[in-house]
Structure 1
Amino acid sequence: MILLGLTGSIGMGKSAVAEMFRKAGVPVYDADAEVHKLQGPGGKLVAAIDALFPGTATPQGIDRAALGRAVLGDRAELRKLERLIHPALAESRRVFLRRYRSRPVVVLDVPLLFEKKGWRSVDATVVVSAPAWKQARRVLARPGMNPLKLKHIRSLQVPDREKRRRADFVIDTGVQIDRTKSRIRDLLACLRAHGVRYCKACEKSSSTLKQPA
C-alpha cells in the first residue's frame, strides 16, 4: 500500500481533489468528516467536549459555532480540544487502514498534515494549491466568513508557498478542472506502475526544469 497524505490550506480545493481521488477508485480517509462524526449526534466525544466547554452540547451533538467561539484565538483552549480529538482520530484511522490494506494506493485527507507532523506517517505528501486571490474569493463566499477570520485561519496554517516547497506532489486547482483531473490520473498511473521513489524523482526533475534560469 502507498499511503498519500493529502492537504492544502483553506479554500484551496482539497475536498474537491479528495472526491476526484475517490472517483478514481482510491479510498480516502476524511479527517474532517471523522471529527464531525465524533462530535455529531451520539458521537463518542460529545460528553467529553461539553465537560471541557460547558454549554456546547445539544441534542444534535456539539454546537460547532459555540465550540469555535470557545477556542478561537485561544491556543491553550485549542490544545485542550486537540488532546481529546487526536487520539480518537488515530483509532478511526487505524480501522480505516486495516479495511483497505490490500489497496495499492490510499489517501489520508488531513487538513493540518504539516502543522501536526502527520507527514511523518505517510509515504508521500500531496498539496492542493491555487493562487491566493482565488483562495480568498472562495473562502469569503462562505457564510459567516470575513477577511479577519480568513487572516486568523491563515495564521494557524503553514503558508501555501511553504507547503508547496515541502510537498512531494502539488495539485493545482487554479486551472481548468479537466487539467486537475488529468494531473490526478497521471499521478496515480505513475504510482501504481513505478512506486513512490520513481514518481518523486520525476516530480523533482519536472519542477527543476520549470524553474527560471
Structure 2
Amino acid sequence: MIVLGLTGSIGMGKSTTANLFRAEGIEVFDADAVVHGLYRGKATPLIEAVFPGTTEAGVVDRLRLGARVLGDPAALQQLEAIVHPLVREAREEFLCSAKERGLPLVVLDIPLLLENAADTPVDAVLLVTAPEAVQKERLAQRPGMTEARLEAILARQMPDADKRKKANYIIDTSLGLASAEADVRDILRKLIPGPK
C-alpha cells in the first residue's frame, strides 16, 4: 500500500485537494479533523488539566487555547505532548484498517508533515501551494484570523520554497479546481499501477 502525504501551509488548499482524492475513491486521514474530534472528547480533560479555563462543557475552546499556546514554545510543547500521541494512535488505526482491506493507496493529510518528517513515514509527499497573495486573501476570509495569529502559525511552518524542494508532487491550487482535479488524477495514475 502506498502512503501519500498531503501537506501545505495554512490557506494553500489542503482540504479542497483532500476532497478531490476522496472524489476519486481514495481514503484520506485528516489530522486536523482528528484533532477536532479529540478536542470534543478524549483530549478535553487532559487539556483542561494543563490549561485550566480553555474548555467549556466538555469541548476545547480553540480560540482560548490558541491564545494560551501560540507564541509560547513551552506551552505549545505541552499541548503537543497531549495531542500528538492520540493523533498517532488514530493514524495507526487508519493505516492498519486500510492495509487489512487491501487498499492500493491512502492519503495522510497532515499540516506539519515536512516539519515533523521523522514522525510520519510516507512513500511520497504532495505539496499544495499558491502564491502568497492568494494565501493571504484566503486567510483574510477566515473567522478569528488576525495578523498576529497568522504570524504565529507561519512561524512554525517551513517556508513554502523549502517545502517545494522536499515534495515529490506539487499542485498549485491558484490555477483553479479543474487544474487541481487533473493533477490529482495524474498523480494517481503514476502511483497506482493498472488501467485507469
TM-score range, shorter chain: over 0.9
Q: Displacement, 1:96? A: 0.7
2:8 and 2:127 in contact (8 A); partners too: yes
* Equivalent residue, structure 2, for 1:143: 143
Q: What residue ranges of structure 2 are gaps of 5+ in the alignment?
A: none
Provide the C-alpha distance between the structure 2 equivalents of 1:180 and 1:19, rounded to a whole number of angstroms: 11
Provide the C-alpha distance between the structure 2 equivalents of 1:152 and 1:57, rounded to a whole number of angstroms: 21
Partner-residue secondary structure (3-state), 1:164:
helix
- Pick which of 159-168 and 58-67 moved more: 58-67
Aligned length: 192
* Equivalent residue, structure 1, for 2:26: 26
Provide the C-alpha distance between the structure 2 equivalents of 1:172 and 1:183, rounded to a whole number of angstroms: 9
Matches within 5 A, 1:59-78: 59-78=57-76
Q: 1:83 to 1:119 in 2, by over 3 A?
A: closer
Provide the C-alpha distance between the structure 2 equivalents of 1:189 and 1:58, rounded to a whole number of angstroms: 46
User: Over aligned residue pairs, what C-alpha RMSD do you find?
Assistant: 1.3
The residue type paired with residue 30 of structure 1 is D
* Equivalent residue, structure 2, for 1:56: 54
Normalised to the residue count of structure 2, the TM-score between the two structures is 0.94
* Equivalent residue, structure 1, for 2:44: 46
Q: Which has the larger radius of gyration?
A: 1
Q: Displacement, 1:56? A: 1.4
Indicate the structure whose relative CO is greater, using CA pairs within 8 Å and at least 6 residues apart: 2
Partner-residue secondary structure (3-state), 2:193:
helix
The residue type paired with residue 59 of structure 1 is A
**Same amino acid, percent of matched pairs:** 46
Partner-residue secondary structure (3-state), 1:174:
helix
The residue type paired with residue 89 of structure 2 is E
Q: 1:118 to 1:9 in 2, by over 3 A?
A: farther
* Equivalent residue, structure 1, for 2:95: 97
Moved over 6 A (4+): none
Q: Displacement, 1:59? A: 1.2
The residue type paired with residue 4 of structure 1 is L
1:119 and 1:125 in contact (8 A); partners too: no
Q: Displacement, 1:152? A: 2.3
Normalised to the residue count of structure 1, the TM-score between the two structures is 0.87
* Equivalent residue, structure 1, for 2:126: 126
Partner-residue secondary structure (3-state), 2:175:
coil
